Structure 1
Amino acid sequence: MDVKEAVKTAIQHVTDLFELDTNSNVGLEEVEYTDHPAGWYITVGFSRPWDHQRQGIGSALQPMQPKRQYRVVKILEDGEIKSVKIREQDA
């Protein structure tokens, strides 16, 4: 499995897995290849409906910048998805 196939598979899997949440802004964040076991760590970012928070009176005049959720999908060379984990956000 090449990197483009791995990315498409990861994004589709995250989209399908979290479809009930009506997520938005789904996209590729990071890609890492690993030798043991051979495969890919693909980080997919997205925003959930509750990540669109507005605070205060002046916030209505400012564009919303939703928080991002991140999931790391482990995909083996043969296309098998081994895991989907939450990526801790940087402090």
Structure 2
Amino acid sequence: MRRRHHFHIDYLGHSVSATVQTGHRPVVEILVDGKETNHATARDDGPVTVPVELPTDPPTTVTVRATPGPGAPRCLLLATADGEPLEMAPRPY
């Protein structure tokens, strides 16, 4: 059964959202400021990394690491400048 899980974080003044669709082939979609910027499909429940470019001056490249399972999905924002992963908060919708 497929289910959609939503995550969000504000970073450098930009809204970064992730939708993780679980199921046989998990799909991860990333939106920056409400616009889809990248997506990835996984073969199993292992972690999926999706590179994203934030529209800063100059552009900032970050990575979203989504773990569809096992168990509850989770997402981290990996910022190259900080080096520390930031937990993306789950959204109930």
TM range (shorter): 0.3 to 0.5
Q: What TM-score, normalized to structure 1?
A: 0.43
Kindly indicate which of the two structures has a greater share of residues assigned to helix: 1
Whichever of the two has the greater Rg, that structure is 1
Kindly indicate which of the two structures has a greater share of residues assigned to strand: 2
Q: What TM-score, normalized to structure 2?
A: 0.42
